Chain A
């Protein structure tokens, strides 16, 4: 059974940093692209960042470029999202998600339970 378990969310002050983690199990982690998708309270889904199966290629939405960095440790089956220069607009539930394919072109077939990030003073 595929499981994606996020951790690391919480309350952070504007301008602060935080790292989210996602422990993956139940599948061959290096064979699939992974992404982070967020959803602000009462709003729609936003794709944030993604990484190919091997970790060789990473991608970010324009609104987080230069502030967020996605990475993966295949030895630990863990996905990360390092978030810097946070603002209130980054407040959202962050989902760790698995794609159907290695390159991220298939669709998201598994979602974590989500972790809430609140940016507030």
Chain B
């Protein structure tokens, strides 16, 4: 199953509401997770089961969708949110990641 993330790059300002998309090549129900990765660090789980917020993750992050189209929304971008975001499908093996969306400061 291939995952396509869009956009690849996103330039935004602190306080902006941003949404990125992850599309699956075939239906994966709600077996999708979102991760945040900062340079030189391991990724961090933000959302699992498409819309469940992982413990400790701020409520400004939210996920949605099912089937083949999914979204990750950050309601008010904070300085610490500038990072790269990846989606991952867990519907079937081999598990796969999307190519990532890099969020940069405008």
**Interface of A toward B, CB cutoff 8 Å:** 35, 37, 44-47, 50, 59-62, 95, 99-100, 104-109, 111-114
Contact = CB atoms under 8 A, between A and B. Distances in A.
Interface size class of B (residues with CB under 8 A): 20 to 34
A44 B97 contact: yes
Nearest to A101: B90
A50 B90 CA distance: 11
B45 A47 contact: no
Interface of B: 31, 33, 35, 37, 42-45, 48-49, 54, 84, 86, 88, 90-91, 93-100
Contacts of B84: 44
A108 B97 contact: no
Contacts of A107: 33, 45, 48-49, 54, 88, 90
Contacts of B37: 45
